[in-house]
Structure 1
């Protein structure tokens, strides 16, 4: 499969005040001044910055996404954000099932699937995150965890147009540790096999699979060259335009 367009997505997590818009401007300038990368680019800022980032990214190749959404429709749900609200403000995608949501807020596979379905109904692309913890890795349960999360978290209506899978080994997020290229190839290859078996050749081979977990400019080239790696979901390194553009360099 050669026509899956890679995506380099930045997850800003709970970081960024209004002054951080300067980094978005710097990234847009870098993308304009250098050869266009052969990938899509997206940033998911905190909710407080969504509106100004959508406005600032207008006319640039940078898409803006949300970091989470509720599975519920708008209503009496204090503190929640409906998927349709993200779409209304100009977001094009939303991250669901990130390990920090699964751990800090005890989100289950069923809830993640419901959030992805809500994203689809709102016209958003759902970036569904999966990945094993360090204890699970040490018990050699990586592939079992990943396949179980895939089965429970990805909606039956997933297509290449409305869903992206992001594999993030939890033990590698923000730690500076990364699995070997061979490890990533094994997991991404298994994910691809599971997707093809469930959805058929066309959809299964069309769905993009991102890698996340301590992706940096220094290792992006090697990781992005691995079979079935269709881009990256980047955390800390996406906060600075120079670092994030250095990761995008893997596709220049």
Structure 2
């Protein structure tokens, strides 16, 4: 079964009502193939507004984070129910910035993933290694450790999209070559097949999340195990449409 091309746009802590309106209107008027899935992830305060603007059926809205409780005394957090209530369909979990700056460890990410899936949203699960880990030849050790934590909590991966984000490439202008990405993605899929079975692994989408942009996205086109992108800074720019159309 062919895997549907998936492009996520992580706006991070960027944007205003005006800039988000411009981004969504650009998507609404762009020629986007029917066989592509686009998820934009604005700051939480703009989720409701973004949902109200989207007109393309291929485009949905996701959150950048969610907590693992439905409600309670958790100041500053957003629940999955709240995210769903405004019409968002996805949540990004395990992003390297959450792991690094907010000290979210593998177990916490796994617990949040289990909770979010149980509440009925899709999860874009981020995994990846630092420059030091890459230099030490530990890339696969790191991503398998991160995945194992989630595998202990989650048995049904139907609504999971994995995003491999080499931490050393994010925001640095550096990028893995398409060949490097393909090799790592293939290894990730092989590992997941050993845990979940060939069918589940063959259907699961694995995104590349290391400084993808309008210029380099097309170079990944022929890589069988690169099923799309999780885009950072470029998702705020007109070139985001070029990334979405890079499989055409």
Q: Which residue of 1 aligns with 2:112?
A: 115
Determine if the alignment matches structure 1 residue 51 to structure 2 residue 51: no
1:251 aligns with 2:220: no
Looking at structure 2, the residues matched to 148 and 16 of structure 1 have their Cα atoms a distance apart, in angstroms, of 34
Aligned counterpart for 1:178 among listed residues 135, 160, 175:
175
Q: How far did residue 58 of structure 1 move?
A: 4.1
Q: How far apart are residue 117 of structure 1 and its match?
A: 1.1
Normalised by the size of structure 1, how large is the TM-score?
0.94
User: Aligned to 1:91, what secondary structure does the other structure show?
Assistant: coil
Match for 1:70 among 67, 72, 84?
67
Deviations 1:113-139, CA, capped at 9 Å, x for gaps: 111111112210011100000000111
Matches within 5 A, 1:159-174: 159-160=157-158, 162-174=159-171
Distance across 1 between alignment mates of 2:23 and 2:165 = 24
Alignment match of 2:213 (pick from 210, 213, 216):
216
Instruction: Count the aligned residue pairs.
Output: 246
**Structure 2 residue aligned with 1:158:** 156
Q: What is the distance in 2 between the residues matched to 1:37 and 1:61? A: 7
Provide the rounded CA distance (Å) in 1 between the counterparts of 2:140 and 2:14: 31
Contact 2:106 2:149 in 1 (8 A): yes
- Offset of residue 153 of structure 1: 3.0
Distance 1:58 1:219 in 2: 28
Q: Decide which of 121, 124, 128 is 2:121's aligned counterpart.
A: 124
- Which residues of structure 2 form unaligned runs of 5+? none
Asked if the contact 1:13/1:45 (under 8 Å) is kept, the reply is: yes
User: Contact 1:37–1:251 (CA<8 Å) still a contact in 2?
Assistant: no
Which secondary structure state, in structure 1, belongs to the residue aligned with residue 69 of structure 2?
Answer: coil
Q: Structure 1 unaligned runs (5+)?
A: none
Residues 224, 232 of structure 1: 8 Å contact kept: no
Q: What TM-score does the superposition give when structure 2 sets the normalisation length?
A: 0.95
Matched, 1:90 2:84: no
RMSD: 1.3
Contact 1:97 1:129 in 2 (8 A): yes
> 1:11 matched to which residue of 2?
10
Mapped to 1, the partners of 2:222 and 2:174 lie a distance apart of 18
